[in-house]
Amino acid sequence: MPPVFRFAPSPNGHLHLGHAYSALLNADRAQQTGGRLLLRIEDIDATRCRPEFETAIYEDLAWLGIGWETPVRRQSEHLSDYRAALENLSALGLVYPAFESRAEIARLVAAREADGPWPRDPDGAPLYPGDARSLSAGERDRLVASGAPYALRLDMAAACRRASGLSWHELGEGPESEHGTVPARPESWGDVVLARKETPTSYHLSVVVDDALQGASEVVRGQDLFHATSVHRLLQALLGLPEPAYRHHALIRDGEGRKLSKSSRSTGLRELRAAGTSPAGIRRLLGLG
């Protein structure tokens, strides 16, 4: 079976050099290995994703000389797949609704911090304090019936008891040069959000479901997602999904060493193209020869 690669941008802005690097690494790996390259549009966040950005993604990738298989998988068209995975996790007793707003969570964390530092996740955000985990079934039902908004969270401690000792095969490297067999540490993320009242999935859940459904065998993506792989391995184990290899690549940074964002205009592919840079010039800028 040929290896399967995927590039999975979110259409919430225009692509920049960092996306070009990721897309070209995927395309080059697919070419070197006789593999397939799939494109996935991660458009779950309806408030930020726009059709014109999706069109621009196709144009920019084609301009770079990248070809992909069709049909393209658009996450917004597959909500029932994520709902089914969520139900499987719920049936294992690993999912609970949490009703606090972001501001309430910040207050709960601040109250805990009065007694000393509160743990942070690998992205630096405080862990969810877990207060909703202890609501009674009756209280949960009453709050859901009242129409209150909620997030569905993974009971991380219970999930880790079910699937412990996980690791992944890292072909690239993480921020601390981790390579080879990397131990997964999903507990460092606390009770992650898997879905919300109005949205039956989160990034973590849909990426794991889609990588499995699309048969991704080597996930090539930026180092900013290195630590998220711990959560992905846990969800794969809980859902009985196959395990791809991972190749996390260095991030392209701006002149001040900051990670590129979709609003940093000087590194946008459209701006570079308008200024006369060719696709070969983009490759040279990225050190891809």
Residues that bind ligand GLU (CB under 6 A): 8-10, 42, 207, 221, 225
The pair of structure tokens assigned to 161 is: 């008891």
How long a stretch of residues is the chain? 289
Contact 41, 57 (CB under 8 A): yes
Q: How many CB atoms lie within 10 A of CB 11?
A: 23
CA distances from 252 to 174, 224, 256, 258 (A): 14, 11, 11, 9
Give residues with Cβ within 8 angstroms of 12, minimum separation 6: 45, 48, 49, 50, 53, 262
Cα–Cα distances in angstroms (integers) from residue 166 to residues 133, 159, 169, 263, in the given order = 24, 12, 11, 37
* Nearer to ligand GLU among residue 8 and residue 66 (C-beta): 8
Nearer to ligand GLU, 135 or 225 (CB): 225
Nearer Cβ to ligand GLU (126/202): 202
Q: Which is nearer to ligand GLU, 127 or 216 (CB)?
A: 216
Q: For strands 36-41 and 73-74, give the pairing.
A: parallel
Q: Of 143 and 225, which has the nearer Cβ to ligand GLU?
A: 225
Residue number, 206 or 282, with CB nearest to ligand GLU: 206
Pick 9 or 268: Cβ nearer ligand GLU: 9
Tokens of 216: 């991704």
- Least Cβ distance, residue 287 to ligand GLU (angstroms): 21
Rank residues 16 and 221 by Cβ distance to ligand GLU and give the closer one. Answer: 221
Burial of 132 (0-12, 13-18, 19+ CB in 10 A): buried
Q: With CA atoms as reference, report the closest residue to 1 among 183, 215, 254.
A: 215
Q: How many helices (H) and strands (E) does the chain have?
A: 10, 10
Question: Which H or E run includes 96?
Answer: strand 95-98
Least CB distance from residue 225 to ligand GLU, whole Å? 5
Pair 88, 239: CB distance under 8 Å: yes
In the complex, what is the shortest distance from the CB of residue 25 to ligand GLU, in angstroms, rounded to a whole number?
A: 11
